[in-house]
Structure 1
Amino acid sequence: MTRLRRWFGPATPAGREVKALADQLLREAGYEPGPGAPVGPDWSYVDSPEKAKALVEEGVLVELLLLPEEFGGPHVPENIVYVPPFAEEMKSRTDMNIIRPLIMDGVVTQYTAIPEHIGPCMVPIAIRVEATEPGQFAFNLAIWGAALRRD
């Protein structure tokens, strides 16, 4: 499991409208869960970096930096996962529109992004993003599979 963390300095408690914005991002990405909702495409066949990179070349997947460049994230294999374009957009919007202002206001000082994989699949089913210390913001980006059925 890859765990990336960044520290930004002193902070104060975080705001509350985060869940509403996260729900809005999910709706804008076209995910409206309902009874018996499908779990999205099955990415389990993407079990090697070569397969993932081939799908990037086709525009089906994109490389995503877990710790974004804007927060000092390096472009190294440990910081890269492969995701569908909607997931990159949702994570970027969350990082830039929610977490960056919290950092700039001193509300959070640490950032962690943890991908959740099933087996050897290169496409995580979810990415857990947390910004903490002393405030707190957490966001679960469900991408495919069982992660889409979680509350």
Structure 2
Amino acid sequence: MSELNAGLIGTELAEATFTVDREAIRRFAVAIDDPSPSYVDDATGRASAWGDIVAPPTFAVTLRDEEAYTTRFWAGLGVSMSQVLNAEVELECIRPILPGCTYIARVRIADLYEKRGKSGRLVFVKRETVIRQAVDAQVVAVLRHTNVVREARG
């Protein structure tokens, strides 16, 4: 856990490119039990200001390379997943995510600080993922994810 220090703030972690599939949007809407016609009905989508169905706002959390974002990230810092707790996820939606469009998600360490708890050292790691349209680099969403890393118990 010694690799977790304030010198990591600002470090770019991963970039991934995704083309959003219409069926993935529909499956996600069903999975979150939100059958809004804006998410699943092509006719409603065509009549909307966006000219197509849109993804539910929380769909943005799926636009990341899960392996790079979690397993490789923590392993690269010498941290076991058993030490990592999810503390907070914040999602800022700026523009809708549309099917057939390509997006680039870039992750960086936004902040890192530590506190002492009853069980020892706790390191708070805040990662920020900015999702942009590939075609014009407009930001569509920003995710802020805070994890707490506990000291390994010997």
What TM-score comes out, normalization by structure 2 length? 0.34
Q: Structure 1 or 2: larger helix share?
A: 1
What TM-score comes out, normalization by structure 1 length? 0.35
Q: Which has the higher contact order (CA 8 A, sep 6+)?
A: 1
Larger radius of gyration: 2
